[in-house]
């Protein structure tokens, strides 16, 4: 017959037995990556999605110009559309900078002005304008709540550390 095996000590038992082992385990843990601001994530996402919609709006404008439905050069429509797409992609990457938000605001205009070519382009531009406003508003609210939660946790941790020494 086999002998019954002893259960292995839990991690809490090991930490009580050897505090040096606990600090060694903490040192091997990778550092926690800070969370990205919600406003940054939301505004970048809106601008990148808007760049993809600008691609399709460019194709619509090009086909209208190519088929003579509007009085414009097809090459001009493609050039304007590509410039808008590149600008939206660039603005998405610049949202960390102070002027990145202003660039995002300015780049809401091309799809709104696209309504002169096809009214549905302006409708899509209006939807993205609403998404931009919501990204700024909700992202700011989430960032404020995160900051308040972190400050409350830091003050609670500071208060706990002060109690044993007093």
Percentage of residues of the chain with pLDDT beyond 90: 66
Rounded to whole angstroms, how far apart are CA atoms 55 and 82?
A: 7
> What b/e sequence results for 84-97 when a residue is b if at least 16 CB atoms lie within 10 Å of its CB, and e otherwise?
bbebbbebbebbee
Q: What is the pTM of this model?
A: 0.73
Q: What is the pLDDT of residues 108-144, one digit of tens each?
A: 999 999 999 999 999 999 999 999 999 999 999 999 9
């Amino acid at each position: 017959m086999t002998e019954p095996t002893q259960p292995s000590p839990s991690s809490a038992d090991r930490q009580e037995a050897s505090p040096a082992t606990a600090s060694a385990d903490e040192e091997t843990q990778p550092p926690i990556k800070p969370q990205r601001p919600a406003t940054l994530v939301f505004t970048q996402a809106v601008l990148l999605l808007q760049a993809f919609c600008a691609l399709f709006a460019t194709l619509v404008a090009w086909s209208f110009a190519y088929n003579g439905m509007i009085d414009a050069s097809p090459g001009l429509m493609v050039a304007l559309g590509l410039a808008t797409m590149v600008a939206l992609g660039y603005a998405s990457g610049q949202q960390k900078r102070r002027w990145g938000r202003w660039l995002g605001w300015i780049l809401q205009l091309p799809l709104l002005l696209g309504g002169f070519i096809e009214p549905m382009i302006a409708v899509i531009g209006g939807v993205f304008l609403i998404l931009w406003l919501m990204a700024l508003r909700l992202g700011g609210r989430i960032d404020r709540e995160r900051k308040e939660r972190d400050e409350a946790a830091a003050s609670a941790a500071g208060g706990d550390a002060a109690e044993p020494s007093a």
